[in-house]
Structure 1
Amino acid sequence: MAISYNGLWKLLIDNEKKKMDLINDLGISSSTIAKMTRGENVSLSVLEKICEEYDCDFGDLISYDRRHKK
């Protein structure tokens, strides 16, 4: 698992939001949330929706860790 969405999870906590809020407020599917929870790839359009909602950049949401490269 080379992709980490820890930035997104921290952003949600800081904004007192839950993963369900991404589903309900932004229309992101539960399967996409599950992929992010497992550190899997998701489309840039999903990340774009989140960035627009929370006024942030992709780098605020995700990071890449070479040590966990598949």
Structure 2
Amino acid sequence: MVISYNKLWKLLIDRKMSKADLRRAAGIAPNTMTKLNRDEEVTLETLGKICGVLGVNIGDVVDIFPKCQEEKKGRKTQ
């Protein structure tokens, strides 16, 4: 499974909000923000905090693609 937070980063750009501002507003730990930057899995609680701050749904900040698309992109699965 491939996770992408590109929607989140685009949303922050549109709202002229920095990643640091989001981290502080949502009460997210720095290591969790690093996971987001690396397109790694984070908890639903974390995604819920982000969505609460931004006033959006989870589908507005994250995309999840099937494993077959991951292999097409040349990424290794875990």
What is the count of residue pairs matched by the alignment?
70
Name the TM-score, length of structure 1 as normaliser: 0.89
- Structure 1 residue 46 displacement after superposition: 0.7
Larger Rg belongs to:
2
Runs of 4+ in 1 over 4 A off after TM superposition: none
Return the TM-score normalized by structure 2.
0.81
Among all aligned residue pairs of Structure 1 and Structure 2, give the percentage whose two residues are the same amino acid: 41
Q: What is the Cα-based RMSD across aligned positions, in Å? A: 1.4
Which 5+ residue runs of structure 1 have no aligned equivalent? none
Q: Which has the bigger relative contact order, CA under 8 A and spacing at least 6?
A: 1
- Aligned counterpart, 1:11: 11
Unpaired stretches in structure 2, ≥5 consecutive residues: 72-76
* Structure 1 match to 2:74: none
1:20 alignment partner AA = A
